[in-house]
Amino acid sequence: MLRSDVSSDRALARPEGREGRAASPPARAATSPRGTSPHGAAPPPAPTTDELLQLLTPDGVRRAEPTLDPWVADVDDERLLDLYEDMVVARRFDIEAVALQRQGELGLWPPLLGQEAAQIGSARALRPDDFAFTSYRENGVAYCRGASPTDLVRVWRGTALSGWDPRSIGMATPQVMIGAQTLHATGYALGCRIDGVDSAAVAYFGDGATSKGDVHEAMVFAASFRAPVVFFCQNNQWAISEPVGLQTRRPIADRAFGYGIPSLRVDGNDVLAVTAATRIALDRARRGDGPTFVEAVTYRRGPHTTSDDPTRYVDPEVQASWEQRDPLTRVERLLGASGALTEDRAGAIKANAERFAHEMREGCLALPVPAPTSVFDHVLVEPSAALARQRSEYAAYLAMFDDGEPR
Amino acid sequence: MTATTMAAALGSGLRRALEDDPRVVLLGEDIGRLGGVFRVTDGLQRDFGADRVMDTPLAESGILGVAVGLAYRGFRPVCEIQFDGFSYPAVDELVTQVSRLHYRTGGAIRMPITVRIPYGGGIGAVEHHSESPEAYFAHTPGLRVVTCGGPQDAHTMLRQAIACDDPVVFLEPKRRYWLKDEVDEELDGALPLDRARVVVEGSDVTLAAYGPLVVTARDAAIAARDEGVSIEVVDLRSLAPLDLDTLERSVRRTHRLVVAHEAQRSGGLGAEIAAGVTERCFDVLQAPVARVTGFDAPYPPAKVEEHFLPDLDRVLDAVDRVVGRPHALAGWSAAS
């Protein structure tokens, strides 16, 4: 159900259209806040499955869920196989990128292991004319939007500050400043509304970002302007070493209530549930009903980045419990039982993932180092005389050396 | 032509920009029905609608961040930050996003955002309403920083800033909002946005000023003339990039330079200008470049702001210093 706006109807009502209901907090408000230490630093317990909207259990059982079911009625075995393939590809290239970093070919990489369903399920719900504003971990989203294997590693190789031209794939340069992209998505969505089109913007951010002022301001602006934006929060339980309990005392989805933004809290490791929730949110945006908040509860099974050491703060038992809730395994179980995932099909999917990873590696190693004077490019649309002078001076300096490089 | 105030000249500039380009939108606090706290946007929401002249929630980072998204969508946002001191919450978005998205994306995404900021002191205001933050912005690559000294530049430069494909921090000297002059709305032949202008010709000393102190500098030139000193006043107009070519031409004639600004001295524009001119004109300078600035203290309470703000007499004293006439610092070390 939509929190603060209970309805399974496709024509979901506006949050302020039901003042009586909106005035009463969601049922979950009665539950006690997580964690008991004054600082709230204790890792939160994994949420139990029945707290979350779910369509596919970790055992691979398709459950009925009246709010979500109508939104994935078209997702038959074949379409679910497509989503599964995307998740396999994402997991595979993510592993390849980690390997590239370990081999010294990338400076850094932020693994997405464990978050495949949250990223693929949401990104595949978007239309080409929608626009995604993400953080740096959404490489699965970038893949869905059409980023090439090489595009994904450009930034991490250190040859560019953006992997792609944002307008070419409808996805902004991934944001490093935590949460800033939520404002950009809101502004873009506001522009869609002014233009009178039914495109939407999606802001991807994490549980840590919800502490940022920009995320607060984005939700205020989005609610006030009824901007067609989806706030898609992947609650992966960690902001580097800080557990989600340090960011919030209550489920993150509950925050949306205070802004008058309806929210959904879904099993983020369930690709079907994520797809349905994102479609609900996008539908509201396209209908002019304004922003929706989706909390996809998932788990970051790898390090924050390849520079991180989660053994210093992760409880192995908690880690193991999330491995039991793997987003790919449950789809394999379902499609294996139905007979849709044949050995041949699985082999083809694996080969496709291998090909993507191979292209990523080859593309990475072939990336040219930019020319020295490229540091002066694109500061302003029309270069200033002062910077042109600095460029000329540095070029002249470099020219003193035989090979064009200072020794 | 009839004389209009600087505030009205800015308003007519915004109106023309809204008329000329349907992608121009205005965002800010109280800019709609109220017309802005200085009434610069008076009547614009009525005439252009609430989708093009938007009252925003009270959040400056939000204003700039939403402008970034609008620019991604192909709009040309003009943001009003209500007072200089409130620009600081927007600095994050300005420095980490607005200024460098063009660079970050290798030229793919432009940020044609204009950020209007009433700035400077002299109106007897409470704290955070009299700041001169230009050095913070001028230090940030990717931002153009400009300021106007009178109604004509206010109108013309604002329209040029909005039409510019780079982000422009447009600083409006708020104590000159009521300054009146005739304004020609013709843009053809106007001086480019990034150029300084000699506003008073002279031969003994170059006095570089901008924004609120252009009026003060003109007055100083008149007063000095009575004492036989010929001051050339250069209105810098563009603080980033600096038009050092125009300054160099002037200093090569006068051999002396005084720089005046309200902002604190250390790390300020005066230091950059002094260094830049010294690098270019060391061979002709006959005195160290003198700075007349606010002091390295936070902006003081209104009842003593007159002591913080460079005025006619402090400017003239610095002129006396560089031309070798008796002055207040006689006998002091120049390094102090």
d(CA B236, CA B270): 11
pLDDT tens digit sequence for A246-267: 999 999 999 999 999 999 999 9
Residue A317 and residue A233 share a domain = yes
Residue A301 and residue A242 share a domain = yes
* The last residue of a domain, from among B153, B182, B211: B182
Number of domains in chain A: 2
* The last residue of a domain, from among B123, B151, B182: B182
Residue A291 and residue A392 share a domain = no
Q: Where would I find the beta strands (DSSP E) of B99-242?
A: 114-119, 144-147, 168-173, 180-182, 197-200, 205-209, 231-235, 238-240
> Could you tell me the CA-to-CA distances from B238 to A359, B73, B112, B145, B258 in Å, in that order?
48, 28, 17, 6, 17
Tokens of B120: 């400077």
Residue B115 and residue B49 share a domain = yes
Quote ipTM for the complex.
Answer: 0.96
pLDDT tens digit sequence for B148-195: 999 999 999 999 999 999 999 999 999 999 999 999 999 999 999 999
pLDDT tens digit sequence for A292-344: 999 999 999 999 999 999 999 999 999 999 999 999 999 999 999 999 999 99
Q: Select from A183, A193, A367, A376 the residue whose CB has the most chain B CBs within 10 Å, as the one to mutate to test that interface.
A: A183
DSSP state of B240: E
Distance from CA of A380 to the nearest CA of B (A): 6
**Residue B241: Cβ within 10 Å count:** 18
Of B74, B92, B106, the CB nearest to A160: B106
Instruction: Tell me the catalytic residues of B.
Output: 129
Residue B172 and residue B31 share a domain = yes
Residue B69 and residue B140 share a domain = yes
Residue A397 and residue A304 share a domain = no
pLDDT at A21: 34
Q: Quote the pTM value.
A: 0.93
Residue A293 and residue A172 share a domain = yes
d(CA B240, CA A209): 33
d(CA B62, CA B212): 29
Residues with pLDDT less than 50, chain B: 336
Contact across the interface for B69 and A187, Cβ inside 8 Å: yes
Q: Which domain holds residue B292?
A: 197-323
DSSP state of B202: -
Q: For chain A, first and last CA: distance in Å? A: 65
d(CA B98, CA B65): 8
Residue B173 and residue B72 share a domain = yes
CATH code of A162's domain: 3.40.50.970
Nearest to B87 by CA among B131, B48, B45: B131
pLDDT at B334: 54
Structural domain contains residue A7: no
DSSP state of A29: G
Residue B138 and residue B211 share a domain = no
Residue B203 and residue B153 share a domain = no
**The pLDDT of residue A170 is above 60:** yes
pLDDT at B331: 75
Structural domain contains residue A19: no
Instruction: Tell me the catalytic residues of A.
Output: 300, 304, 313
pLDDT at A158: 98
Residue B291 and residue B239 share a domain = yes
Residue A380 and residue A345 share a domain = no
* B27 close to A (CB below 8 A): no
pLDDT at A1: 60
Chain A, 215 to 274: residues with Cβ < 8 Å from chain B are: 217-218, 220-221, 224-225
Please report, as a single letter, which amino acid is at residue A369: V
What angle is formed at CA A397 by the lines to CA A393 and CA A402, rounded to 5 degrees?
A: 145
Residue A404 and residue A286 share a domain = no
A4 band by pLDDT with thresholds 50, 70 and 90: low
SS (H, E, C) A309-367: CHHHCCCHHHHHHHHCCCHHHHHHHHHHHHCCCCHHHHHHHHHHHHHHHHHHHHHHHHC
The helix/strand/coil state of A396 is helix
Residue B107 CA neighbour count, 13 Å, CB half: 9
pLDDT at B1: 72
* The last residue of a domain, from among B154, B182, B210: B182
Contact across the interface for B165 and A213, Cβ inside 8 Å: no
Structural domain contains residue A1: no
pLDDT tens digit sequence for A55-87: 999 999 999 999 999 999 999 999 999 999 999
**The pLDDT of residue A35 is above 80:** no
A165 alpha-carbon distance from chain centroid = 19
Peptide bond before residue B310 is cis, with ω within 30 degrees of 0: no
Structural domain contains residue B115: yes
Residue A157 and residue A86 share a domain = yes
Contact across the interface for B165 and A160, Cβ inside 8 Å: no
The helix/strand/coil state of B67 is helix
d(CA A235, CA A297): 5
Structural domain contains residue A209: yes
Structural domain contains residue B333: no
B205 alpha-carbon distance from chain centroid = 22
d(CA B161, CA B96): 21
Residue B109 and residue B72 share a domain = yes
Q: Which domain holds residue A397?
A: 373-407
pLDDT tens digit sequence for A41-56: 555 554 554 589 999 9
Residues of B whose CB is below 8 A from A132: none
Residue B287 and residue B158 share a domain = no
Tokens of A84: 């599964």
Structural domain contains residue B187: no
Residue with tokens 């490089």, as numbered in its chain: A405
Please report, as a single letter, which amino acid is at residue B315: V
Structural domain contains residue A27: no
Residue A393 and residue A286 share a domain = no
Structural domain contains residue B329: no
Which pairing describes strands A238-239 and A242-243: parallel, antiparallel, or unpaired? Answer: antiparallel
Distance from CA of B214 to the nearest CA of A (A): 24
Please report, as a single letter, which amino acid is at residue A140: G
Q: For chain B, first and last CA: distance in Å? A: 49
d(CA B19, CA B136): 32
CATH code of B88's domain: 3.40.50.970
Tokens of B249: 């031409």
Structural domain contains residue A99: yes
Residue A282 and residue A303 share a domain = yes
Residue B156 and residue B205 share a domain = no
Residue A297 and residue A274 share a domain = yes
Residue B302 and residue B168 share a domain = no
Q: If you average pLDDT over every residue of chain A, what do you get?
A: 90
The helix/strand/coil state of B166 is coil
CATH code of B218's domain: 3.40.50.920
Structural domain contains residue B335: no
Q: Where would I find the beta strands (DSSP E) of A151-228?
A: 201-206
* A377 close to B (CB below 8 A): yes
Number of domains in chain B: 2
Distance from CA of B241 to the nearest CA of A (A): 6
d(CA B95, CA A115): 31
Residue A278 and residue A163 share a domain = yes
pLDDT at B2: 82
Structural domain contains residue A256: yes
Structural domain contains residue B202: yes
Residue/partner pairs of B303-307 with CB below 8 Å, 24 or more apart: B305/B121, B305/B122, B305/B124, B305/B130
